[in-house]
A and B are shown apart, each in its own frame.
Chain A
Amino acid sequence: MTRIEDQLREMMHADAERIRHADRRPAAVLGGPRTRRTGWLRAGLAAAAAAAAILLVPRLFGTPGPTPPPAASAAPALTVTFTTGGTKVNPPGVTVAVPEPHVTAADPEAARRVTAVIRQTLADTVGAFRNRSAEAVGLGADAGLMSEQIVVADVVAWSHYLSVRFDSSSQVDGPHPTNESAVLTFDTATGARTLSTDLFADVAEAAALVRGALVAKYPAEARAGSDLAALSLRPSEEGSTPPLSCYPTPAGLSCLVDQGSLTPYAAGRLETIVGWDRLAPLLRPGVAG
């Protein structure tokens, strides 16, 4: 053991001792497990995997929405298409279907940047699933019943942004699968990732409009005491991610809340679009140009 190792051990043990029972929240009352995953969709997932020849062309001009966007770019500076990726098996028996991105851009560096971010996002998603699977396999669960399917749910351009939405459905154990979405928005000129908070000069007001739209669309869930009113476009300081994902589309800011994250699983994924007519005054200069 070297001197630095001794010091590391001493420092870590001393610091750990400073985190004490008394400092923490009271121990939770032990209740039942969360029921977030099941096997009933396995057959559906397998069928979806077989049919998952994903080839989406960006909707560069979008579909006509109820309100026109403030502006729309005509130049396809960045395009992203997907093909079905290989099925990876790890732990043995677990199946994973992942789309493979193909990016073209006027600037090769932008294309490289976008490709890297997409691949990293997919790899992180698969990695998290693989870890959960390994945990369950370690406890004796049947790996053959586990699967993850990631599909490209949307590729859409608005102004000088291109957004990609991935929907993942992972089955480890439990009564139903975990369905989550990940959204990536890129600046088509630079390939830089853009967050929803980058779009608005008044983020708080934009978030309020999003929450209002969700509550208006899902009044029953709002009345049931869900946390819809607490959703924010801003990242949480505590590190936990608000399960709200938003991305710009020609029709407006499209927002969704992961299934089962705030409302009962049976309520499904919550989705709404807030039109640009309401959001345009809140945008940063140049965003819509």
Chain B
Amino acid sequence: MFWRATAVGEPVAASSFAAVYHAQRLTMVRLAAFLVGDLQAAEDVAHDAFTGLHANWHRLRDEQAVVGYLRRAVVNRSRSLLRRRRTARAYIWPVAGEEPGADSSVVAAEDRQRLRDAVAGLPRRQREVLVLRYWADLTEAQIADTLGISAGTVKSTASRALQAVEAAFSTGEQEDKP
């Protein structure tokens, strides 16, 4: 726990907002970066989420809900940003491919790049589910809560997303073979 525990029902201490901010900021920027595909915009999204949290801090009763709130806020603000993004450009994975070193890592680097391309090509919701599941390591229930959808929808969306990624990944593998 990165800030002190309080009894259920007792408002969270105002001083701990700074602790939450410093502990969670990078995580939320990373999450936003995966969702919007743009590091600078991700910082704005994360900061906006913290601003919203700060505005509601006085009525916060359950500190366990803070991280969940931040995740939902980042997802919602990322969606809002994508919705309002008038430039019709495709999603771009926020982290550039790494420079391969030894021969053994060349293959791994190529595999990861194919995966990035496959995930970047997914519809927004499928990408969200995969990021929350495989990067944030959330349960289906937590993902459902974060995205505001049912657990069943999480399951089916994840299944379709994995199929699509696997298909795109395999296609890339075939194309790369001499």
Contacts and interface: CB of A to CB of B under 8 A. Distances in A.
A63 interface: no
B44 interface: yes
A127 B80 CA distance: 9
Contacts of B25: 27
A32 interface: yes
Interface stretch (A2-10, A47-55, A201-209): A2-10
Interface string B26-69: 10011001101011110110010001101110011100010011
Contacts of A11: 112, 115-116
Nearest to B42: A19
Interface residues of B, number: 59
Interface string A234-256: 01111111000000000000000
Interface residues of A, number: 49
A189 interface: no
A237 to B, nearest CB: 7
Given A5-B162, A16-B135, A30-B17, A239 B85 contact: yes
B34 A32 contact: no
Contacts of A148: none
Contact of B51 (A33, A236, A238): A33
Interface stretch (A106-114, A138-146, A265-273): A138-146
Interface of A: 2, 4-5, 7-16, 18-21, 23-25, 27-28, 30, 32-34, 124, 127-128, 130-132, 134-136, 138-141, 173-174, 195, 235-241
19 contacts: A4-B169, A7-B111, A11-B116, A12-B134, A13-B135, A14-B112, A16-B95, A20-B26, A24-B26, A27-B22, A30-B54, A134-B72, A135-B52, A139-B60, A139-B69, A235-B86, A239-B41, A239-B85, A240-B81
Given A8-B134, A16-B34, A138-B68, 16 more contacts: A5-B134, A8-B119, A12-B135, A15-B93, A19-B39, A25-B43, A124-B83, A130-B148, A139-B65, A141-B56, A174-B55, A195-B86, A236-B86, A236-B87, A239-B38, A239-B84
